[in-house]
Amino acid sequence: MPTPPPEPSGRLDQLKAALAAASAAADLKARGRFLVLTHRGPDPDALGACEGLRQLLNEGMGYEPVVATLGEIHRAENIALVEELELDLEDYDSIDHSRFAGVLLVDTQPEFGHTVVPDDLPVVAVFDHHVKPTTEPEASVPVAFSDVRLKVGATSSMIQGYLEEAGLEADSTTASALFCGVRYDTADLSRNATPVDEDAYLKTFQNADRGAIARIAHPPLPLNYYSELSGALSCARRHGPLVLALMGQVENPASVAEMADLFLRMEGCSWALVGAGYGDEYVLSLRTDPAFGRAYPLMERVLDGQGSFGGHGHIAGGRIFLSDAGESTVRATEREIRTHALALLGSKGEDGIPEEGRPLTS
Protein backbone atom coordinates (compact mmCIF):
# COMPACT_ATOMS: atom_id res chain seq x y z
CA MET A 1 0.00 0.00 0.00
CA PRO A 2 1.53 3.37 -1.01
CA THR A 3 2.63 5.70 1.74
CA PRO A 4 0.31 8.71 2.01
CA PRO A 5 1.79 12.18 1.46
CA PRO A 6 3.01 13.97 4.57
CA GLU A 7 0.69 16.19 6.53
CA PRO A 8 1.09 19.89 5.64
CA SER A 9 3.78 21.41 7.85
CA GLY A 10 3.20 25.07 7.04
CA ARG A 11 6.79 25.36 5.77
CA LEU A 12 5.74 25.39 2.13
CA ASP A 13 3.38 28.33 2.68
CA GLN A 14 6.10 30.21 4.58
CA LEU A 15 8.56 29.57 1.76
CA LYS A 16 6.04 30.77 -0.82
CA ALA A 17 5.48 33.97 1.16
CA ALA A 18 9.22 34.65 1.46
CA LEU A 19 9.77 34.11 -2.26
CA ALA A 20 6.81 36.27 -3.24
CA ALA A 21 8.00 39.12 -1.03
CA ALA A 22 11.54 38.95 -2.40
CA SER A 23 10.32 38.83 -5.97
CA ALA A 24 8.00 41.80 -5.48
CA ALA A 25 10.80 43.86 -3.94
CA ALA A 26 13.27 43.17 -6.76
CA ASP A 27 13.91 45.17 -9.90
CA LEU A 28 11.55 44.36 -12.74
CA LYS A 29 14.13 42.32 -14.72
CA ALA A 30 14.92 40.17 -11.65
CA ARG A 31 11.40 39.36 -10.53
CA GLY A 32 10.58 35.68 -10.50
CA ARG A 33 14.24 34.63 -10.84
CA PHE A 34 16.22 33.07 -7.98
CA LEU A 35 19.79 31.88 -7.60
CA VAL A 36 20.24 28.50 -5.90
CA LEU A 37 23.64 28.02 -4.26
CA THR A 38 25.35 25.44 -2.10
CA HIS A 39 28.79 24.94 -0.57
CA ARG A 40 32.06 24.70 -2.49
CA GLY A 41 32.75 21.40 -4.20
CA PRO A 42 29.19 20.09 -3.76
CA ASP A 43 28.55 16.48 -2.77
CA PRO A 44 25.58 14.28 -3.81
CA ASP A 45 23.30 15.61 -1.07
CA ALA A 46 23.96 19.21 -2.09
CA LEU A 47 23.52 18.43 -5.79
CA GLY A 48 20.39 16.35 -5.21
CA ALA A 49 18.76 18.97 -2.99
CA CYS A 50 19.55 21.73 -5.51
CA GLU A 51 17.96 19.69 -8.29
CA GLY A 52 14.86 19.02 -6.20
CA LEU A 53 14.56 22.70 -5.34
CA ARG A 54 14.88 23.56 -9.02
CA GLN A 55 11.80 21.45 -9.82
CA LEU A 56 9.88 22.81 -6.83
CA LEU A 57 10.50 26.45 -7.76
CA ASN A 58 9.87 25.93 -11.45
CA GLU A 59 6.93 23.55 -11.61
CA GLY A 60 5.41 24.17 -8.21
CA MET A 61 5.67 27.95 -7.97
CA GLY A 62 6.31 29.27 -11.47
CA TYR A 63 9.70 30.81 -10.73
CA GLU A 64 12.86 30.63 -12.82
CA PRO A 65 15.68 29.12 -10.73
CA VAL A 66 19.33 28.95 -11.71
CA VAL A 67 21.61 26.52 -9.88
CA ALA A 68 25.23 27.67 -9.70
CA THR A 69 28.25 26.01 -8.12
CA LEU A 70 31.56 27.33 -6.86
CA GLY A 71 34.71 25.25 -6.79
CA GLU A 72 35.62 22.12 -8.67
CA ILE A 73 33.85 18.82 -8.16
CA HIS A 74 36.53 16.21 -7.54
CA ARG A 75 35.19 12.93 -6.18
CA ALA A 76 34.54 10.41 -8.97
CA GLU A 77 31.01 9.59 -7.79
CA ASN A 78 30.08 13.27 -7.69
CA ILE A 79 31.46 13.91 -11.18
CA ALA A 80 29.55 10.88 -12.44
CA LEU A 81 26.33 12.17 -10.86
CA VAL A 82 26.62 15.49 -12.72
CA GLU A 83 27.55 13.84 -16.01
CA GLU A 84 25.13 10.89 -15.92
CA LEU A 85 22.15 13.08 -15.05
CA GLU A 86 23.34 15.99 -17.23
CA LEU A 87 22.71 18.50 -14.46
CA ASP A 88 22.50 22.11 -15.63
CA LEU A 89 24.95 23.92 -13.36
CA GLU A 90 26.19 27.44 -14.01
CA ASP A 91 29.56 28.76 -12.86
CA TYR A 92 29.05 31.11 -9.92
CA ASP A 93 31.96 33.32 -10.95
CA SER A 94 30.21 34.17 -14.25
CA ILE A 95 26.82 34.96 -12.71
CA ASP A 96 25.28 38.42 -13.14
CA HIS A 97 23.71 39.04 -9.73
CA SER A 98 21.38 41.72 -11.07
CA ARG A 99 19.42 38.98 -12.85
CA PHE A 100 18.06 37.60 -9.56
CA ALA A 101 15.62 38.59 -6.84
CA GLY A 102 17.48 36.64 -4.17
CA VAL A 103 19.49 33.61 -3.14
CA LEU A 104 18.43 30.22 -1.76
CA LEU A 105 21.14 28.28 0.10
CA VAL A 106 21.00 24.49 0.06
CA ASP A 107 22.86 22.01 2.31
CA THR A 108 24.71 24.89 3.95
CA GLN A 109 24.20 28.09 5.94
CA PRO A 110 25.41 31.68 5.42
CA GLU A 111 27.97 31.57 8.24
CA PHE A 112 29.73 28.42 7.02
CA GLY A 113 33.28 29.10 5.88
CA HIS A 114 32.99 26.90 2.75
CA THR A 115 30.09 28.94 1.40
CA VAL A 116 30.07 32.20 -0.54
CA VAL A 117 27.01 34.40 -0.10
CA PRO A 118 26.56 37.39 -2.45
CA ASP A 119 26.55 40.63 -0.50
CA ASP A 120 24.31 42.31 -3.08
CA LEU A 121 21.41 39.84 -2.95
CA PRO A 122 19.04 38.94 -0.10
CA VAL A 123 19.19 35.43 1.32
CA VAL A 124 15.58 34.39 0.89
CA ALA A 125 15.77 30.81 2.17
CA VAL A 126 18.12 28.30 3.77
CA PHE A 127 17.67 24.49 3.74
CA ASP A 128 20.17 22.47 5.74
CA HIS A 129 20.74 19.70 8.29
CA HIS A 130 24.22 20.57 9.59
CA VAL A 131 25.23 21.83 13.02
CA LYS A 132 26.31 25.46 12.97
CA PRO A 133 29.99 25.82 13.97
CA THR A 134 30.35 27.62 17.29
CA THR A 135 33.51 29.32 16.05
CA GLU A 136 31.85 30.96 13.06
CA PRO A 137 30.50 34.53 13.33
CA GLU A 138 26.83 35.17 13.05
CA ALA A 139 25.59 35.92 9.55
CA SER A 140 25.34 39.63 8.88
CA VAL A 141 22.50 39.14 6.37
CA PRO A 142 19.05 38.18 7.66
CA VAL A 143 17.36 35.09 6.24
CA ALA A 144 13.68 35.38 5.36
CA PHE A 145 12.94 31.65 5.62
CA SER A 146 15.09 29.05 7.35
CA ASP A 147 14.56 25.28 7.55
CA VAL A 148 17.44 23.70 9.45
CA ARG A 149 16.70 20.21 10.79
CA LEU A 150 19.70 18.83 12.63
CA LYS A 151 18.29 15.34 13.12
CA VAL A 152 17.46 14.68 9.47
CA GLY A 153 20.12 12.67 7.65
CA ALA A 154 20.06 14.47 4.29
CA THR A 155 18.92 17.82 2.94
CA SER A 156 17.65 15.94 -0.11
CA SER A 157 15.12 14.20 2.15
CA MET A 158 13.81 17.59 3.26
CA ILE A 159 13.42 18.82 -0.32
CA GLN A 160 11.61 15.64 -1.31
CA GLY A 161 9.10 16.48 1.42
CA TYR A 162 8.52 19.92 -0.10
CA LEU A 163 7.86 18.36 -3.51
CA GLU A 164 5.29 16.04 -1.99
CA GLU A 165 3.60 18.83 -0.05
CA ALA A 166 3.38 20.81 -3.30
CA GLY A 167 1.71 17.83 -4.99
CA LEU A 168 4.68 17.22 -7.32
CA GLU A 169 6.26 13.93 -8.31
CA ALA A 170 9.97 14.11 -8.93
CA ASP A 171 10.89 13.50 -12.57
CA SER A 172 13.52 10.88 -13.38
CA THR A 173 16.49 13.25 -13.24
CA THR A 174 15.35 14.90 -10.04
CA ALA A 175 14.42 11.61 -8.39
CA SER A 176 17.81 10.13 -9.28
CA ALA A 177 19.66 13.13 -7.89
CA LEU A 178 17.58 13.19 -4.70
CA PHE A 179 18.01 9.44 -4.21
CA CYS A 180 21.78 9.76 -4.51
CA GLY A 181 21.71 12.61 -2.00
CA VAL A 182 19.84 10.54 0.57
CA ARG A 183 21.80 7.39 -0.22
CA TYR A 184 25.28 8.84 0.23
CA ASP A 185 24.57 11.06 3.24
CA THR A 186 22.89 8.23 5.15
CA ALA A 187 24.98 5.33 3.78
CA ASP A 188 21.85 3.62 2.44
CA LEU A 189 19.89 4.50 5.60
CA SER A 190 22.49 2.95 7.91
CA ARG A 191 23.78 6.27 9.30
CA ASN A 192 21.92 9.26 10.78
CA ALA A 193 18.69 8.15 9.10
CA THR A 194 15.24 9.23 10.29
CA PRO A 195 11.74 8.32 9.06
CA VAL A 196 11.95 11.40 6.82
CA ASP A 197 15.02 9.92 5.14
CA GLU A 198 13.50 6.45 4.86
CA ASP A 199 10.41 7.85 3.17
CA ALA A 200 12.46 9.96 0.74
CA TYR A 201 14.82 7.09 -0.06
CA LEU A 202 12.00 4.75 -1.05
CA LYS A 203 9.91 7.29 -2.95
CA THR A 204 12.74 8.79 -4.98
CA PHE A 205 14.04 5.34 -5.91
CA GLN A 206 10.70 4.51 -7.52
CA ASN A 207 11.16 7.18 -10.20
CA ALA A 208 14.96 7.11 -10.41
CA ASP A 209 17.02 5.98 -13.39
CA ARG A 210 18.44 2.78 -11.89
CA GLY A 211 21.02 2.30 -14.60
CA ALA A 212 22.38 5.79 -13.96
CA ILE A 213 22.42 5.15 -10.20
CA ALA A 214 24.51 2.01 -10.71
CA ARG A 215 26.97 3.87 -12.95
CA ILE A 216 27.22 6.71 -10.43
CA ALA A 217 28.01 4.25 -7.64
CA HIS A 218 30.83 2.61 -9.63
CA PRO A 219 32.49 5.32 -11.76
CA PRO A 220 35.89 5.07 -13.45
CA LEU A 221 38.63 6.15 -11.04
CA PRO A 222 41.46 8.48 -12.09
CA LEU A 223 45.06 7.32 -11.87
CA ASN A 224 45.83 9.73 -9.02
CA TYR A 225 43.29 7.90 -6.85
CA TYR A 226 45.63 4.92 -6.70
CA SER A 227 48.77 6.95 -6.10
CA GLU A 228 47.09 8.83 -3.27
CA LEU A 229 45.71 5.59 -1.86
CA SER A 230 49.28 4.30 -1.74
CA GLY A 231 50.43 7.50 -0.04
CA ALA A 232 47.64 7.35 2.53
CA LEU A 233 48.41 3.75 3.40
CA SER A 234 52.08 4.60 3.83
CA CYS A 235 51.58 7.59 6.13
CA ALA A 236 48.61 6.31 8.15
CA ARG A 237 49.21 5.42 11.79
CA ARG A 238 47.07 3.49 14.24
CA HIS A 239 46.67 5.02 17.72
CA GLY A 240 44.36 2.65 19.55
CA PRO A 241 40.86 3.38 18.24
CA LEU A 242 42.13 6.19 15.96
CA VAL A 243 43.55 5.90 12.46
CA LEU A 244 45.36 9.13 11.61
CA ALA A 245 46.61 9.87 8.08
CA LEU A 246 48.10 13.28 7.32
CA MET A 247 49.03 13.02 3.66
CA GLY A 248 51.09 16.13 2.94
CA GLN A 249 49.97 17.63 -0.37
CA VAL A 250 47.57 15.92 -2.79
CA GLU A 251 46.39 16.41 -6.37
CA ASN A 252 42.78 15.54 -5.58
CA PRO A 253 41.20 16.84 -2.33
CA ALA A 254 38.37 14.30 -2.67
CA SER A 255 40.87 11.61 -1.70
CA VAL A 256 40.82 12.96 1.86
CA ALA A 257 37.19 11.99 2.43
CA GLU A 258 37.61 8.77 0.48
CA MET A 259 40.50 7.65 2.68
CA ALA A 260 38.60 8.55 5.86
CA ASP A 261 35.72 6.36 4.69
CA LEU A 262 38.15 3.55 3.91
CA PHE A 263 40.05 3.65 7.20
CA LEU A 264 36.90 3.67 9.30
CA ARG A 265 36.16 0.20 7.90
CA MET A 266 39.33 -1.17 9.53
CA GLU A 267 38.67 -3.70 12.27
CA GLY A 268 39.06 -2.01 15.64
CA CYS A 269 38.94 1.53 14.25
CA SER A 270 36.38 3.75 16.02
CA TRP A 271 37.35 7.02 14.38
CA ALA A 272 39.45 8.08 11.42
CA LEU A 273 41.00 11.48 10.74
CA VAL A 274 42.56 12.23 7.35
CA GLY A 275 44.02 15.49 6.12
CA ALA A 276 45.99 16.91 3.19
CA GLY A 277 47.05 20.19 1.67
CA TYR A 278 45.43 21.30 -1.56
CA GLY A 279 46.28 24.72 -2.94
CA ASP A 280 46.05 27.30 -0.18
CA GLU A 281 43.92 25.10 2.09
CA TYR A 282 44.44 22.16 4.40
CA VAL A 283 41.44 19.84 4.06
CA LEU A 284 40.28 17.46 6.81
CA SER A 285 37.73 14.65 6.99
CA LEU A 286 36.71 12.89 10.19
CA ARG A 287 34.56 9.78 10.52
CA THR A 288 33.31 7.92 13.60
CA ASP A 289 31.51 4.63 13.99
CA PRO A 290 28.00 4.56 15.50
CA ALA A 291 29.23 3.40 18.92
CA PHE A 292 31.96 6.02 19.27
CA GLY A 293 29.90 9.19 19.12
CA ARG A 294 29.44 12.27 16.98
CA ALA A 295 32.17 13.51 14.66
CA TYR A 296 31.35 17.21 14.89
CA PRO A 297 32.65 17.93 18.44
CA LEU A 298 35.80 15.94 17.71
CA MET A 299 36.54 18.06 14.64
CA GLU A 300 35.98 21.20 16.67
CA ARG A 301 38.61 20.08 19.18
CA VAL A 302 41.06 18.94 16.50
CA LEU A 303 40.93 22.34 14.80
CA ASP A 304 41.20 24.16 18.14
CA GLY A 305 39.82 27.43 16.81
CA GLN A 306 41.47 27.31 13.38
CA GLY A 307 39.72 27.34 10.03
CA SER A 308 36.11 26.37 9.43
CA PHE A 309 34.22 23.12 9.75
CA GLY A 310 30.84 21.48 9.67
CA GLY A 311 29.23 18.12 10.11
CA HIS A 312 26.37 15.98 11.25
CA GLY A 313 26.19 12.63 12.94
CA HIS A 314 29.28 10.56 12.27
CA ILE A 315 30.74 12.76 9.50
CA ALA A 316 32.66 16.04 9.78
CA GLY A 317 34.82 18.05 7.45
CA GLY A 318 37.05 21.05 7.96
CA ARG A 319 39.52 23.28 6.22
CA ILE A 320 42.32 25.54 7.34
CA PHE A 321 43.43 28.39 5.09
CA LEU A 322 47.22 28.35 4.70
CA SER A 323 49.53 31.35 4.41
CA ASP A 324 51.16 29.57 1.47
CA ALA A 325 51.14 26.17 -0.20
CA GLY A 326 54.73 25.33 0.69
CA GLU A 327 55.68 21.95 2.11
CA SER A 328 56.96 23.47 5.37
CA THR A 329 53.64 25.23 5.98
CA VAL A 330 51.68 22.04 5.32
CA ARG A 331 53.92 20.02 7.63
CA ALA A 332 53.66 22.60 10.42
CA THR A 333 49.87 22.48 10.12
CA GLU A 334 49.95 18.70 10.28
CA ARG A 335 52.05 18.75 13.45
CA GLU A 336 49.43 20.90 15.16
CA ILE A 337 46.58 18.69 13.99
CA ARG A 338 48.40 15.57 15.13
CA THR A 339 49.05 17.09 18.55
CA HIS A 340 45.40 18.05 19.00
CA ALA A 341 44.12 14.66 17.80
CA LEU A 342 46.41 12.67 20.09
CA ALA A 343 45.54 14.94 23.01
CA LEU A 344 42.03 13.54 22.77
CA LEU A 345 43.50 10.11 23.47
CA GLY A 346 46.16 11.14 25.98
CA SER A 347 49.84 10.72 25.21
CA LYS A 348 49.17 7.08 24.34
CA GLY A 349 46.27 5.21 22.82
CA GLU A 350 43.98 3.13 24.94
CA ASP A 351 45.95 -0.07 24.18
CA GLY A 352 49.30 1.48 25.12
CA ILE A 353 50.57 2.13 21.59
CA PRO A 354 53.36 4.73 21.69
CA GLU A 355 52.59 8.25 20.57
CA GLU A 356 54.19 7.76 17.14
CA GLY A 357 51.56 5.14 16.41
CA ARG A 358 51.64 1.87 14.55
CA PRO A 359 52.05 1.82 10.74
CA LEU A 360 49.33 0.07 8.79
CA THR A 361 51.82 -1.36 6.33
CA SER A 362 55.27 -2.80 6.90
Pairing of strands 358-359, 237-239: antiparallel
pLDDT score of 137 more than 60 = no
Looking at residues 269-297, what average pLDDT do you find?
93
**Residue 126: burial class (beta carbons within 10 Å; 0-12, 13-18, 19+):** buried
pLDDT range class, residue 296, cuts 50, 70, 90: confident
Looking at residues 65-88, what average pLDDT do you find?
95
Residues above pLDDT 90, as percent of the chain: 75
pLDDT score of 353 more than 80 = no
Looking at residues 213-225, what average pLDDT do you find?
94
Q: Which CATH number fits domain 225-359: 3.40.30.10, 3.40.980.10, 3.10.310.40, 3.90.1150.10?
A: 3.10.310.40
Contact 4, 80 (CB under 8 A): no
Measured at the alpha carbon of residue 179, what is the angle toward residues 176 and 183, in degrees to the nearest 5?
A: 140
pLDDT range class, residue 6, cuts 50, 70, 90: low
Q: Which helix (H) or strand (E) holds 103?
A: strand 102-106
pLDDT score of 136 more than 70 = no
The sign of the torsion formed by the CA atoms of 233, 234, 240, 244 equals negative
What whole-number distance in Å separates Cα of residue 61 and Cα of residue 109? Answer: 23
Pairing of strands 90-91, 64-69: parallel
CA atoms within 13 A on the CB side of 24: 6
pLDDT score of 135 more than 60 = no
Of the two residues 95 and 348, the one the predictor is more confident about is 95
Mean pLDDT lowest among 4-8, 59-63, 103-107, 141-145: 4-8
φ and ψ at residue 164, rounded to 5 degrees: -65, -45
pLDDT range class, residue 307, cuts 50, 70, 90: confident
pLDDT score of 7 more than 70 = no
Task: Bin 168: left if φ > 0, else alpha if -120 < ψ < 50, else beta.
Answer: beta
**Residue 329: burial class (beta carbons within 10 Å; 0-12, 13-18, 19+):** middle
Predicted pLDDT at 349: 45
pLDDT range class, residue 1, cuts 50, 70, 90: very low
pLDDT score of 134 more than 70 = no
Measured at the alpha carbon of residue 242, what is the angle toward residues 238 and 248, in degrees to the nearest 5?
A: 70
Looking at residues 64-68, what average pLDDT do you find?
98
pLDDT score of 71 more than 80 = yes
What whole-number distance in Å separates Cα of residue 135 and Cα of residue 151? Answer: 21
pLDDT score of 13 more than 50 = yes
Residues above pLDDT 70, as percent of the chain: 92
* The one-letter amino acid at 21: A
pLDDT score of 260 more than 50 = yes
Looking at residues 206-215, what average pLDDT do you find?
97
Statement: the pTM of the whole predicted model exceeds 0.75: yes
Looking at residues 223-231, what average pLDDT do you find?
94
Question: DSSP states of 123-162 as a string?
Answer: EEEEEE-SPPPTTSPPPSS-EEEEEE-TT-S-HHHHHHHH
Looking at residues 82-102, what average pLDDT do you find?
97
Q: Could you give the residue range(s) of every CATH 3.10.310.40 domain in the chain?
A: 225-359
- Domain 11-217 class, CATH top level: alpha beta
Average pLDDT value over all residues in the chain: 91
Mean pLDDT lowest among 64-73, 173-182, 269-278, 341-350: 341-350
Q: Could you give the residue range(s) of every CATH 3.90.1640.10 domain in the chain?
A: 11-217
CA atoms within 13 A on the CB side of 334: 21
